Amino acid sequence: MADYQAPLRDMRFVLNEVFDAPALWASLPKVAENVDPDTADAILEEAGKITSGVLAPLNREGDEQGSKWTDGEVAAPEGFKEAYQTIVEGGWNGLGGNPEFGGMGMPKTLVAQFEEMMQGANMAFGLAPMLTAGACLALDAHGSQELKEKYLPNMYSGVWSGAMDLTEPHAGTDLGIIRTKAEPNDDGSFNVTGTKIFITWGEHDMAENIIHLVLAKLPDAPKGPKGISLFLVPKFLVNEDGSLGERNSFSCGSIEKKMGIKGSATCVMNFDGARGWLVGEENKGLAAMFTMMNYERLGVGIQGIGAAEASLQSAREYALERIQSRAPTGAQQPEKAADPILVHPDVRRMLLTMKSYVEGGRTFSTYVAQWLDISKYAEDNERRKHAEGMVALLTPVAKAFLTDRGLDACIIGQQVFGGHGFIREWGQEQLVRDCRITQIYEGTNGIQALDLMGRKVVGSQGKLYELFANDVAAFIEENSGDQNLRPYLEPLAAAFERLSDVTEHVIKQAGDNPDAIGAASVDYLDLFGLTALGYMWAKIVKAAAPKAEGDTSGFYTGKLKTARFYFDRLLPKTVSLAEGIRSGSDAMMALTAEEF
């Protein structure tokens, strides 16, 4: 198996040539204070060294050893604690954090590249910094000044880590029925009691304290999701002078035995009157939690890209070295017993499909990160509101489409290896197992599709969709005279029109048919995602085409040829998806329960 290497050249291309991220950063004063092109480049370079040289070598051993639970204590796999120290000593834990409390204040467009490297190198490990960053984001946005001053500096530094405690044994997607309770104390704290499951890195030995953000209900809380509050519950109580005090009244009851990401601890957490502090307003816990959800859901989509990139690197190397049979057009390497399998059309189909999804997906994740940066940092209210609408619309697509295609790419990569892909030593089977969870956590992909179709598209009567539609239409119009783009703009416009027609069709259906949204949602998200990646590949062509002539490295010419493959072989899938959506819900809902 190829050793994972951070795809720095591709990342720099997306940041600097496709999106001109430095210009975006310069337009956002709070971002410009902290980053410039030289700083960003140095961050990418160092991130590549750490992820490729420190994290990637631990990936297989972490999977084989797994985290270990003993009497409530969890030990991370061998080498993870030392790697964690390397990460935190370099300031990587607070890369996107608020500088007021010790964070580096880097924009999401840059942080997203580091996240992809970390997840591609070692997803199980990468979940620890990812969850801490999410907890910091929610605390920074909604916590009191006292809580932020007390907890954020040590969380950004990595001395303390963070965990998010949402799910309960009986309540997954439907958080409105959680049972965890929070009883108020006279000193302003609360006693939190209940059980949470599937808590990623909820217990471990890598940091000296773990700060849990726990969803719970107050005694007089309204029923349903409107009665949920968010509480900060530390593993060790923190004294007034900042030192650690006694252990709080909760423990890890067990860790799950899982299909993948075995190096990470997925914990059952039992809270028994643990002391906690309210984050944000009473009964507004979901709003506080959703502040970080857009970032976390994009982060999960990036996990899909990272795993797919790792699979592509290995499959590409294998296809270049493995010799089997002769090319259909005759021997390509007659001095050898057979030709490399790269000569075979089907192997090329597999590799190009992976390459299309990985490089298009990386561009799309950066596109979404760009809107996140504008929504957070823009000083112009109209610009910020526009970006917030784009983030709301695109987040479920980023999470679900990128993880669906990420798993597809990992499975395809395994297939390139043939029987060797099924064998542990080559690493492809681990990537398949690890990537699978990305379709499930942070809201299953079916729920993401319902969110897109129901809340964002139908719920806004198409207003949020129009934001994206206007962006695509403007790109097509502005580049109509570009000879390099002409072969791509026509099929992009056709797919875009198809998506717009289907959008209008479902909005109309939903007024009379309660099942219309659910019946259309998954296919609609795929249709949206394929069209969005077509838009991204058109942007890639615009950036690469002027530099392709005389390109001896194959970098820019490879982009153009991959774009041609995407438009010829993958974008046409939008036709069948649209037809399926237009068929409505009748066939889906016709069977009785007994007929299943």
Q: Does some domain include residue 152?
A: no
Q: Contact at 8 Å (CB) between 19 and 367?
A: yes
Q: Does some domain include residue 351?
A: no
pLDDT at 1: 65
Nearest to 107 by CA among 368, 334, 450, 475: 368
Contacts of 86 (CB under 8 A, 6+ apart): 50, 54
Residues 163-184 have pLDDT tens digits of: 999 999 988 778 878 999 999 9
Q: Provide the percentage of residues in the chain whose pLDDT is more than 70.
A: 100
Residues 175-210 have pLDDT tens digits of: 878 999 999 999 999 999 999 999 999 999 999 999
Residues 431-463 have pLDDT tens digits of: 999 999 999 999 999 999 999 999 999 999 999
The token pair at 121 is: 């190198």
The token pair at 7 is: 């795809």
| Range 485-500 average pLDDT | 97
| Range 40-65 average pLDDT | 98
Is it the case that residue 422 has pLDDT exceeding 70?
yes
Q: Does some domain include residue 533?
A: yes
Q: Contact at 8 Å (CB) between 128 and 161?
A: yes
CB atoms within 10 A of CB 103: 23
Comparing 285-299, 374-388, 560-574, the range with the smallest average pLDDT is 285-299
Grouping H, G, I as helix, E, B as strand and the rest as coil, residue 323 is strand
pLDDT at 175: 80
Residues 510-569 have pLDDT tens digits of: 999 999 999 999 999 999 999 999 999 999 999 999 999 989 999 999 999 999 999 999
Q: Which residues make beta-bridge pairs with 160?
A: 209
- At residue 293 the predicted structure's pLDDT band, cuts being 50, 70 and 90, is confident
Is it the case that residue 82 has pLDDT exceeding 90?
yes
Q: Does some domain include residue 327?
A: no
Q: Does some domain include residue 532?
A: yes
Is it the case that residue 282 has pLDDT exceeding 70?
yes
Q: Does some domain include residue 562?
A: yes
Nearest to 355 by CA among 202, 555, 507: 555
Q: Does some domain include residue 507?
A: yes
What range defines the domain where residue 482 resides? 444-585
Beta-sheet pairing, 209-216 with 236-238: unpaired
What CATH number does residue 556 fall under?
Answer: 1.20.120
Alpha carbons within 13 A on the beta-carbon side of 179: 10
User: Which helix or strand (DSSP H or E) is residue 244 part of?
Assistant: strand 244-247
On average, the pLDDT of the chain sits at 96
Residues 355-367 have pLDDT tens digits of: 999 999 999 999 9
Between these two residues, 2 and 354, which has the higher pLDDT value? 354
Is it the case that residue 292 has pLDDT exceeding 90?
no
Q: Does some domain include residue 20?
A: no
Catalytic member of 296, 359, 429, 442: 442
Nearest to 310 by CA among 133, 62, 555, 59: 59
| Range 274-293 average pLDDT | 91
pLDDT at 295: 87
Q: Total structural domains in the chain?
A: 1
Nearest to 212 by CA among 189, 188, 236: 236
Is 442 known to be catalytic?
yes
* Vertex 246: Cα angle to 245 and 252 (nearest 5): 125
Is it the case that residue 326 has pLDDT exceeding 90?
yes
Find the largest Cα–Cα distance for the chain: 84
